[in-house]
Amino acid sequence: MFRIVTDTSSNLPTAYLQAENITVIPFTFHTESGEQSCMDTATFDAKAFYTAMRNGEKVTTSQIPPQRFVDYLHPMLEAGEDVLFVSMSSGISGSYASSKIAANQLQEEFPERKILTVDTYSASLAEGLVVMHAVECREKGMTIDETYTLLRALRHRIAQIFTVGDLRYLKRTGRLSNLEAAVGTVLQIKPLLKGDPEGKIVCFAKVRGRQRAIEEMAKRYEALVVEPEAQTVCISHADCEPDAQILANLLRRSAKPPKDILIVDYEPVTGSHVGPGALALFFLSDDNVRNI
């Protein structure tokens, strides 16, 4: 047995994390109320958070510093546990690099213990899917090394497709120019985005209108999903529950309906970068899905 650790970007329901004994290391974010973290999805008021953003509240985020990893992992190692950390993409956060610094430091103190870190090249429930598979591996009795190897292969099979409700947030993160954002807003152009092989966010298509964007997400799912009858497909949304349900119903009525669908509110750190109205879909596909 080994301890599975992740960060709050994995966006998994608190009840699941507690049931599976998964430790979560928090990202922090800053609002007008000061520094905060979201450690309990059951008490996170997503509507209030995203309404405040719509009304102009600025949200900034911070990567997890190395010392926070040390503080969380040290007691586990001291208790004789091996640790597998599942991280948010290094392509959009420096936290994975922080985890490596901490792991190297702790390895010197605990040379007999294994400390393995997995860069998922993902965020939100795409990262969460990797965590869920880590749990399945542990339940099957796989070793930490076997699980680590499987997860490093699995991360290349996770399709991440999303759209946003407000182009300003992509402009702020450099995904769109000022002109593209202005023209897109006037013409109701909705970008379709994905995670690339390096875990960065890229735009692969643009459509007119929200409904068309949701339909295109469902079409891409049907074209790319593998073994849907055996997997849980995940949807994250930033205060747009009706759209999440529309997308879920399209998947259920598709030629390849999934076994289960998990729908969650975007947690505040990742959600603050994609903005209110963001809608994301995550599922397993083939090895080269990030290149398609």
CA gap 3, 80 in Å, rounded: 10
Q: How many structural domains does the chain have? A: 2
Q: Which of 123, 156, 189 is the last residue of a domain?
A: 156
Do 93 and 176 share a domain, yes or no?
A: no
Do 194 and 134 share a domain, yes or no?
A: no
Do 76 and 191 share a domain, yes or no?
A: no
Do 141 and 180 share a domain, yes or no?
A: no
Do 166 and 141 share a domain, yes or no?
A: no
Q: Which of 105, 125, 156 is the last residue of a domain?
A: 156
- pTM for the model stands at 0.93
Do 17 and 59 share a domain, yes or no?
A: yes
Do 112 and 182 share a domain, yes or no?
A: no
Enumerate residues 6+ apart whose C-beta is below 8 A from 289.
156, 157, 158, 159, 224
Q: Which of 156, 189, 204 is the last residue of a domain?
A: 156
What is the sign of the dihedral through the CA atoms of 140, 142, 144 and 146? negative
Nearest to residue 192, comparing CAs of 174, 173, 218, 172? Answer: 218
Residue 162 belongs to a domain with what CATH number?
A: 3.30.1180.10
Return phi, psi of residue 267, to 5°. -65, 160
Give the single-character DSSP code of 201. E
Digitized pLDDT (tens) for each residue of the chain, 292 residues in all: 899 999 999 999 999 999 999 999 999 999 998 988 988 888 899 999 999 999 999 999 999 999 999 999 999 999 999 999 999 999 989 999 999 999 999 999 999 999 999 999 999 999 999 999 999 999 999 999 999 999 999 999 999 999 999 878 876 655 454 434 444 454 578 889 999 898 888 888 899 999 999 999 999 999 999 999 999 999 999 999 999 999 999 999 999 999 999 999 999 999 999 999 999 999 999 988 988 7
Do 229 and 277 share a domain, yes or no?
A: yes
CA gap 91, 123 in Å, rounded: 10
What is the sign of the dihedral through the CA atoms of 262, 264, 267 and 271? positive
Residue 101 belongs to a domain with what CATH number?
A: 3.40.50.10170
Do 162 and 120 share a domain, yes or no?
A: no
Do 144 and 222 share a domain, yes or no?
A: no
Do 112 and 138 share a domain, yes or no?
A: yes
* Domain hosting residue 244, numbered range: 157-291
Do 132 and 254 share a domain, yes or no?
A: no
